[in-house]
C-alpha cells in the first residue's frame, strides 16, 4: 500500500464522517413546522451531496474527492454551499448572515458566507454533542477513477462572476 492509497482511505473515512455528522446535527437542530417545509428541507439536504438522495450519503467514492463542497472552482462549489445554507437556515440559533435569503452571489460574498457557515456548524456541533465535528477536505491528489454525475443547475445568468441559486426552481417538492 502506497501513501496515496492511505490518503484515499483516510479521505473516504473523513468524508463519510462529515456526511453522517451533517445528518446527525441536522436532525438535532432543525426546526421545521410542516410537511411541505420538511420535504423542501430534505431536497436541499440531498443537494449537499454529489450523488443526490441523502439516504445514499454513506456511499463515498473516490471520484467525489474534488467535487461538491471541496470543488476548487467557487462557481462549481456554489450549488452545494447554497444547498447547505438552506439546510442550516432551519437550525436553531442560525446566524443572520446564513438565514438571510439570497439567490445571487459573487465570489467574495460566497467565501464570507462559507466562513460564517463553517463557524456556525462547528460551534453548533460542539455545543450539541461535546466534540469537534469532522470537516470535509480536498484530497491532495487526483484519484485515477472515472465516473460522471449530473451537475446541479447552477445559474441562469449571463453575468460573469455571479452565481444564482436555482435549487428551489429545479426541485420538485
pLDDT tens per residue, range 129-159: 999 999 877 777 666 665 555 555 444 455 5
Q: Check: CB of residue 86 under 8 Å from CB of residue 100.
A: no
171 has a pLDDT exceeding 50 = no
Grid coordinates of 33: 413546522
State the total domains in the chain: 1
* 3-class SS of residue 91: strand
Q: Check: CB of residue 79 under 8 Å from CB of residue 154.
A: yes
Mean pLDDT of all residues belonging to the chain: 80
Cα gap 2→153, rounded to integer Å = 38
Cα gap 10→62, rounded to integer Å = 11
Sign of CA dihedral 10, 13, 19, 24: negative
Q: What is the pLDDT of residue 67?
A: 72
Q: What is the pLDDT of residue 104?
A: 76
Q: Check: CB of residue 105 under 8 Å from CB of residue 172.
A: no
Q: Which residue has the higher pLDDT, 170 or 105?
A: 105
Q: What is the pLDDT of residue 161?
A: 65
pLDDT tens per residue, range 67-117: 778 777 888 888 888 889 999 999 999 999 998 877 778 889 889 999 999
163 has a pLDDT exceeding 70 = no
What b/e sequence results for 59-79 when a residue is b if at least 16 CB atoms lie within 10 Å of its CB, and e otherwise? Answer: ebebebbbbbbbbeebbbbbb
Which residues in the chain belong to E strands, given as ranges?
104-106, 162-164
Grid coordinates of 23: 445528518
Domain that holds residue 101: 3-170
Q: What is the pLDDT of residue 92?
A: 95
Task: Tell me the range of 41-45, 68-72, 148-152, 164-168 where mean pLDDT is highest.
Answer: 41-45
In the chain, alpha helices (H) = 3-29, 35-46, 74-88, 96-99, 107-129, 167-170
Q: What is the pLDDT of residue 12?
A: 83
Amino acid at each position: 500500500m502506497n501513501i496515496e492509497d492511505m490518503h484515499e482511505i483516510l479521505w473516504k473515512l473523513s468524508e463519510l464522517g462529515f456526511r453522517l455528522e451533517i445528518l446527525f446535527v441536522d436532525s438535532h437542530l432543525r426546526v421545521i413546522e410542516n410537511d411541505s417545509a420538511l420535504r423542501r428541507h430534505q431536497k436541499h439536504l440531498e443537494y449537499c451531496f454529489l450523488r443526490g438522495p441523502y439516504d445514499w450519503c454513506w456511499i463515498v467514492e473516490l471520484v467525489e474527492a474534488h467535487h461538491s463542497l471541496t470543488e476548487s472552482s467557487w462557481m462549481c462549489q456554489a450549488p452545494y454551499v447554497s444547498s447547505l445554507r438552506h439546510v442550516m437556515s432551519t437550525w436553531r440559533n442560525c446566524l443572520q448572515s446564513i438565514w438571510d435569503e439570497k439567490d445571487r452571489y459573487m465570489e467574495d460574498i460566497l467565501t464570507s458566507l462559507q466562513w460564517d457557515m463553517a463557524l456556525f456548524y462547528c460551534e453548533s456541533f460542539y455545543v450539541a454533542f461535546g466534540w469537534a465535528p469532522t470537516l470535509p477536505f480536498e484530497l491532495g491528489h487526483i484519484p485515477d477513477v472515472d465516473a460522471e454525475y449530473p451537475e446541479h443547475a447552477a445559474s441562469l445568468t449571463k453575468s460573469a462572476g455571479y452565481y444564482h441559486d436555482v435549487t428551489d426552481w429545479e426541485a420538485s417538492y
